[in-house]
Amino acid sequence: MMYRVHTELPVYQAAFAAASDVFRLSKTFPKEETYSLTDQVRRSSRSVCANLAEAWRKRRFEKHFVSTLNIAEGEAAETQVWLQFAVECDYLVPETARPIYQSYDEILAQIVALIRNPDPWLLNK
C-alpha cells in the first residue's frame, strides 16, 4: 500500500495514539514533577511522532531518512524509560503503564523494520 502523507502510516498512528495516552496519564502526576518527569515523558512521546513526520519528508535521501528514524527510535525507547520511572515513583500502577509500554515495543519494532529496509519508502530511487 502506498501512503500519501505521514499521518497515514500505521506506525505514526500508533505513536500518536500512544502519545495521547501518555499525555492523559501524565495529568495525574504530582505538581512537583511538572518540569521533570511529566515534561520529559510528554516531550519524548510527542517527539516520536514529530520525527516520523520529519523522516517521511526526508525520503529523498536515504541517510537522512534512516538517521531521523533512528532519532524516533531513541525517543520511543526514552518514553519507555520515563514510564518505568512513573511506575517506580508510584505515579502509575503497573497495570496502567504496561499497555502503553507494550505499545511502544510495537512502535519500536515498526521503526526498526523501516530502518532495516528503507528502499521501498525512498523517493526517486
Report the chain (125 residues): mean pLDDT per 10 consecutive residues: 92 98 97 95 98 97 98 98 98 98 98 97 83
User: Residue 2: what pLDDT?
Assistant: 87
Contacts 24+ apart (CB under 8 A), 85-93: 85/37, 86/25, 86/26, 86/29, 86/37, 86/41, 89/33, 89/37, 91/28, 91/29, 91/30, 91/33, 91/37, 92/25, 92/28
User: Residue 86: what pLDDT?
Assistant: 98
Taking the alpha carbons at both ends of the chain, their separation in whole angstroms is: 17
Select from 71, 72, 100 the least CA-distant residue to 86. 100
Show Cβ contacts of residue 88 under 8 Å, excluding neighbours closer than 6 positions: none
Q: With contact defined as beta carbons under 8 Å apart, do 60 and 124 qualify?
A: yes
User: Residue 125: what pLDDT?
Assistant: 57
User: Residue 100: what pLDDT?
Assistant: 98
Q: Which fold has domain 13-27+36-121?
A: de novo design (two linked rop proteins) (1.20.1440)
User: Residue 68: what pLDDT?
Assistant: 98
User: Residue 83: what pLDDT?
Assistant: 98
- Domain locations in the chain? 13-27+36-121
Alpha-carbon span 12 to 53, nearest angstrom: 8
User: Residue 1: what pLDDT?
Assistant: 62
User: Residue 124: what pLDDT?
Assistant: 78
SS3 at position 16: helix
Alpha-carbon span 23 to 10, nearest angstrom: 20
